[in-house]
């Protein structure tokens, strides 16, 4: 198709964008016509930072030339390779560096932290999650309930949208927490809900749960690198996230975890242990007894997966250079622009599920095409055929996530125009 040029509004917004230069620091996939695709899928897999290839190549070269000596020499000795991520990750999730660690993968970290933070008693054994929760989180929670001998039918509480509504209400979550009261062991919720893109109120919900004596874990898979979070100040007990979505750490990147410092200092906390969680000073004394490191590092199992972490160094450098404050401001402007275009051109044809309020939306807009899943699927296929990469989530949601590091206002405009074309809008 011949593309109409960007409107004056899109050109002005891109011209004034202080982060515009970051786009060239990412490799973006190509569209069927050989041009750069409009990549709006960073909520699922962030694109490759150019520098990621260099970081990986460096590790391979050190492996080739130093082999085992790479554990102790080179620019970032592998023995402590994970440690370089603590400070930049802590800045993104609102934590102290000692409260965060890059390790394992998301669901593994969730199960590991549930071992420590879901310790039910007969009286207090229920877990509250959202409906519909991301399947992996639900599987993990249900498996933990069963592991402890509780039936999910009784012990799993789910809070969903009210009939006829799409979004969770903070008041409903708080009410569910209060209803469960002294039977509630744990609340596990997402910082940003994967299907709707709704940002939850981490602070208010954490406070409500702690008032009832429950522990609180957050899954930040869709929140980290997307919206600011303040885990420490909110008082969250633990959190987990992956690094391959907004963070652009690469497919299957090693993930992250947060443990509040009030727990990180508790060496007596039950946990599944491995040698990399053992006190670094005495790890190689090879003694029989496990002595945990202080902080989140004490939950590590194995020596760091260096190749799975190397791209993350490149990605976090981009986040630090851009700054989460500037990224968030541009992100809100991009989604506001998209909302405005959809309201002007596609009212009645597309419903935006994601909340309108700034505080309740991140990069992602979840769209539903009027008329059921079939026209939705067709519109999504048309977007894909024209080089707009988003994703489709069953049963009927198109997710488009303009990301401030590499997307432009002109791209947002183009995606909305193509949607309109696919839906036969004038």
Q: How far is the CB of 189 from ligand PLP (least distance, A)?
A: 10
Q: Which is nearer to ligand PLP, 56 or 188 (CB)?
A: 188
245 is catalytic: yes
Of 219 and 318, nearer to ligand PLP (C-beta) is 219
Return d(Cα 244, Cα 312) in angstroms, integer: 9
Distance of alpha carbon 254 from alpha carbon 103, whole angstroms? 5
Is residue 366 within 8 Å of residue 46, measured between CB atoms?
no
- Catalytic residue, from 117, 118, 194, 244: name it: 244
Q: Which is nearer to ligand PLP, 62 or 106 (CB)?
A: 106
Q: Does 183 bind ligand PLP (CB under 6 A)?
A: no
Distance of CA 58 to the CA centre of its chain: 27
Nearer to ligand PLP, 189 or 316 (CB): 189
Which H or E run includes 239? strand 238-241
Element (H, E) at 173: helix 170-180
| 244: annotated active-site residue | yes
Query: Catalytic: which of 134, 337, 406, 409?
Result: 134
For the question of residue 146 being annotated catalytic, the response is no
Q: Which stretch binds ligand PLP (CB under 6 A): 79-87, 101-109, 285-293, 406-414?
A: 101-109
Q: Which is nearer to ligand PLP, 108 or 351 (CB)?
A: 108
**Of the two residues 194 and 406, which places its CB atom closer to ligand PLP in the complex?**
194
CB atoms closer than 10 angstroms to residue 3: 13
* 8 Å CB contact between 70 and 81: no
Q: Which of 81, 118, 194, 258: binder of ligand PLP (CB under 6 A)? A: 194
Which of these ranges, 10-18, 67-75, 134-142, 321-329, lies near ligand PLP under the rule CB under 6 A?
134-142
Residue 161 and residue 99: Cα distance in Å, rounded? 32
Alpha-carbon dihedral 120, 190, 146, 112, rounded to 10 degrees: -70
> Per rule CB under 6 A, is residue 301 in the interface with ligand PLP?
no
Residues 283 and 275: beta-carbon distance below 8 Å: yes
Is 107 near ligand PLP (CB under 6 A)?
yes
> Under a CB-based contact definition with an 8 Å cutoff, are residues 266 and 238 in contact?
no
Tell me if residue 330 is catalytic. Answer: no
Find the shortest distance in angstroms from Cβ 134 to ligand PLP.
Answer: 3
CA distance 330 to 187: 32
In whole angstroms, the minimum distance from the beta carbon of 136 to ligand PLP comes to: 4
Catalytic residue among 23, 138, 245, 349: 245
Q: How far is the CB of 105 from ligand PLP (least distance, A)?
A: 5
Pick between residue 239 and residue 367 the one whose CB is nearest to ligand PLP.
Answer: 239
Q: Which of residues 207-266 bind ligand PLP (CB under 6 A)?
A: 219, 221-222, 242
Residue 406 known to be catalytic: no
DSSP per position, 57-114:
HHHHHHHHHHGGGGGTSSSS-GGGGGGGGHHHHHHHHT--GGGEEEES-HHHHHHHHH
Residues 324-383 that bind ligand PLP (CB under 6 A): none
Q: Interface mask (CB under 6 A) for ligand PLP, residues 391-420, using x and -?
A: ------------------------------
- Judge contact between 157 and 216, C-beta under 8 A: no
81 is an interface residue for ligand PLP by CB under 6 A: no
Pairing of strands 215-219, 126-130: unpaired
The Cβ of residue 344 has, within 10 Å, a number of other Cβ atoms equal to 10
Catalytic residue ranges = 134, 219, 244-245, 399
Q: Where does this chain bind ligand PLP (CB under 6 A)?
A: 105-107, 134, 136-137, 190, 194, 219, 221-222, 242
């Amino acid at each position: 198709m011949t593309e109409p040029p960007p409107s004056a509004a899109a050109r002005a917004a891109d011209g004034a964008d202080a982060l515009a230069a970051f786009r060239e620091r990412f490799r973006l996939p190509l569209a069927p016509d050989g041009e750069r695709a409009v990549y709006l899928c960073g909520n699922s897999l962030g694109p490759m930072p150019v520098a990621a290839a260099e970081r990986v190549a460096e590790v391979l070269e050190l492996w080739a030339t130093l082999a085992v000596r790479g554990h102790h020499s080179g620019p970032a000795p592998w023995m402590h390779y994970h440690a370089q991520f603590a400070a930049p990750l802590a800045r993104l999730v609102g934590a102290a560096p000692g409260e965060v660690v890059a390790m394992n993968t998301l669901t593994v970290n969730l199960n590991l932290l549930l071992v420590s933070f879901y310790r039910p008693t007969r009286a207090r054994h229920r877990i509250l999650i959202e409906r519909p929760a991301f399947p992996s989180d639900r599987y993990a929670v249900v498996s933990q309930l069963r592991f402890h001998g509780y039936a999910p039918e009784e012990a799993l509480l789910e809070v969903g949208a009210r009939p006829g509504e799409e979004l969770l209400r903070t008041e409903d979550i708080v009410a569910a927490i209060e209803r469960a009261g002294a039977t509630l062991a744990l609340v596990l919720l997402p910082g940003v809900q994967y299907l709707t893109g709704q940002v939850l109120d981490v602070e208010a919900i954490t406070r409500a749960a702690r008032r009832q004596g429950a522990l609180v874990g957050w899954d930040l898979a869709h929140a980290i690198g997307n919206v600011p979070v303040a885990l420490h100040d909110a008082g969250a007990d633990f959190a987990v996230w992956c690094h391959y979505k907004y963070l652009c750490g690469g497919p299957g990147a090693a993930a992250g975890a947060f443990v509040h410092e009030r727990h990180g200092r508790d060496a007596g906390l039950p946990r599944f242990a491995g040698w990399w969680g053992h006190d670094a000073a005495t790890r190689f004394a090879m003694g029989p007894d496990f002595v945990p490191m202080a902080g989140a590092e004490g939950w590590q199992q194995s020596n760091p997966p260096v190749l799975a972490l190397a791209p993350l160094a490149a990605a976090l450098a981009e986040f630090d250079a851009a700054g989460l404050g500037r990224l968030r401001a541009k992100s809100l402007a991009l989604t506001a622009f998209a909302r405005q275009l959809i309201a002007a051109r596609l009212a009645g044809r597309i419903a935006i599920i994601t909340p309108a309020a700034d505080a309740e939306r991140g990069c992602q807009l979840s769209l539903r095409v009027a008329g059921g899943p079939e026209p939705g699927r067709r519109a999504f296929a048309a977007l894909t055929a024209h080089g707009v990469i988003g994703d489709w989530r069953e049963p009927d949601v198109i997710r488009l996530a303009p990301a401030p590091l590499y997307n432009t206002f002109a791209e947002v405009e183009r995606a909305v125009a193509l949607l309109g074309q696919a839906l036969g809008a004038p």
